[in-house]
Amino acid sequence: MEDSNNGASTECKLLESALALFSEKGYEGTSIREIIERAGVTRPVLYYYFKNKEDLFCRLVETSFAELGADLDRVIQAPGSCRSKLQSIMSATFERAENSFDVVRLLLQAVFASPAEGLRLDMTKLVEGRLDRLAAVVQEGLDAGELTGGDAQSLALVFAGIMDMHIMAKMHRPQAVLTPDLANYLVDLFIQGAGGGVTNKMQYAFRPAVGARPYKNNLDAKQNRVAEK
């Protein structure tokens, strides 16, 4: 049996291998064989750490949501205005997306997974947990008078939509950068509204560079077969 350091290293290699392949080929298009070959381990080693391909996928998704939740908890517990907290949340989320867009693709697969795939993930719990944290920050803004004209849950959903759609749009604008300045601009837009002159403060805030090539799904039917081979 491996010592704890080697064990942790092997487990990380498997997770990194699975993340890269799930991002590149999708859950259904990725096989156990490809994961172990990329990680440089044998099949028995994979099954020592994980039950199956689904277990790998779910571990990655749950870990990513836990990290996002930890970011939100730190912001919620810190002093500051609603505006400053929302700016911190969006900047941190954008930074995570910039650092690993493979994780973004993974989470999108999980959120939009077909029920037929039978994943054990409770995506409602994971997604609602994130929205509840956002709503807690928004409620602080409503209580302080920084925000008006809505309830915390609805406004949190609007805020998440602005933030997440910019992350999703980067898939088709790969050279665009999710910067802290963009995060601050979008928070101002959320708080003040498009009629308040905010749009003039940062023109072309999210324009792709000349020659940027959009991300395209591989529609090759071969990769879409269930793959546990």
Looking at the structure, tell me whether residues 138 and 203 fall in a common domain. yes
Whether 215 maps to a domain, the answer reads no
For the stretch 31-68, pLDDT in tens is 999 999 999 999 999 999 999 999 999 999 999 999 99
Looking at the structure, tell me whether residues 155 and 79 fall in a common domain. yes
CATH number, domain containing residue 155: 1.10.357.10
Residue-range definition of the domain harbouring residue 163: 57-210
Q: Which is more confidently placed, 222 or 114?
A: 114
Confidence of residue 180 (pLDDT cuts 50, 70, 90): very high
Looking at the structure, tell me whether residues 153 and 171 fall in a common domain. yes
Predicted confidence at residue 85, as pLDDT, reads: 97
pLDDT at 228 over 70: no
pLDDT at 82 over 80: yes
Whether 205 maps to a domain, the answer reads yes
Looking at the structure, tell me whether residues 186 and 92 fall in a common domain. yes
Looking at the structure, tell me whether residues 72 and 182 fall in a common domain. yes
Whether 225 maps to a domain, the answer reads no
Predicted confidence at residue 7, as pLDDT, reads: 58
Whether 224 maps to a domain, the answer reads no
For the stretch 83-93, pLDDT in tens is 999 999 999 99
Whether 127 maps to a domain, the answer reads yes
Whether 118 maps to a domain, the answer reads yes
For the stretch 8-24, pLDDT in tens is 799 999 999 999 999 99
Whether 137 maps to a domain, the answer reads yes
How many structural domains does the chain have?
A: 2
Whether 219 maps to a domain, the answer reads no
Looking at the structure, tell me whether residues 11 and 98 fall in a common domain. no
Distance CA 144, CA 167 (A): 29
pLDDT at 204 over 70: no
